[in-house]
Amino acid sequence: EKGAIAEGIVGRQGIVTNARGELFLATERGLVRGAQTKGAWQFTAVAAPATQRDGPVVSVLVDEGGKVWFGCGTGLCLLDQNEVREVGREAGLPDEMWWAILSSVEGDLYVRGEHSLYRRAAKQKRFESLPKLPESTNTIPTAALDPDGRLLVPTDVGLVRESENGWQTINVEDGSNDVSAVLMDHEGSIWLGLMGSGLARWLGYGEWESWTEKEGLSRSQVWSVAKDPSGRLWVGTRFG
C-alpha cells in the first residue's frame, strides 16, 4: 500500500511487546514501533543505523531490562533509550542475517543465523561462537531454551540440544528429522513444528504427543508455533 510504513511481518520472531505495552514489529522496511494514543494505535518507523538502512529487520527481542534487540540487515542492532546502533560487529559477530534472538534468565544472549549460532554470556561484551551446529537451510532458523536453560535448536538433521559433550540429537517418536519450529511454553512443555509430520509435544525423554491433519490441523507442514497469554496454542501451517 502506498505510504504504508511496512507491508508485513518478517520471520518467526517478528512481534514483541515491552512492559509499557508498546509493540515492536520486524518488517521488510525496518523496525516499527506501535503505541496506543487516545485508544488508537499509532505506528512509527524506527530509524536504523546508516550501515543497515536498506536491509529488512528479521527478528526482534525485548530483554529483561527493556532494551530492544533486532536483526537488522546483516547486523545486530540495539534500541536503548531511543538511541539505535549496530552492535554486532564490535561484539564479534560476522555479517549474517540473525533470524533468532533469545535471552536466558541468567542474562545470556543468543543469536542464530542460517550458518552460525553465537552466545554472549551475561555481563560480557563479546559474542562467542557455538561451533559444530548443523545448518538449518530447510526453514527459517529458530531456537529455544528448555526448562534447564539449555539450547534447543531445529536443524536439517533434526532437533539438537546443547550438552556438556556437544550437540545431542533428540529423536521424535515418528522418526521425523524435519523440525521447523520449537517453543517452550510457560508450563515447561516443548512444542515442535514438523515439516510434513504435524505438531509434537515433548513430555520428556522418550515421551511424545503428536497431532496431524487427522487431529484437525489444516496441513501437516507446520511452520511456526506460539502460545498466547490465555494458554491457547496457535499453529501456523502451510495453508494457515
Query: Both ends of the chain: CA-CA distance in Å?
Result: 23
pLDDT recorded at residue 131:
86
CB 110 within 8 A of CB 143: yes
CB atoms within 10 A of CB 173: 13
- What's the CA gap between 67 and 2, in Å, rounded? 31
pLDDT digits (tens, 9 = 90+) for 20-37: 999 999 998 889 999 988
Positive or negative, the Cα torsion across 11, 12, 15, 17? negative
Lowest mean pLDDT among 2-11, 123-132, 173-182: 173-182
Which residues make Cβ contacts (< 8 Å) with residue 36, sequence separation at least 6? 21, 42
With cut-offs at 50, 70 and 90, classify the pLDDT of residue 212: very low
pTM higher than 0.85 for the full model? Answer: no
pLDDT digits (tens, 9 = 90+) for 39-69: 899 999 998 888 777 789 999 999 989 999 9
With cut-offs at 50, 70 and 90, classify the pLDDT of residue 96: very high
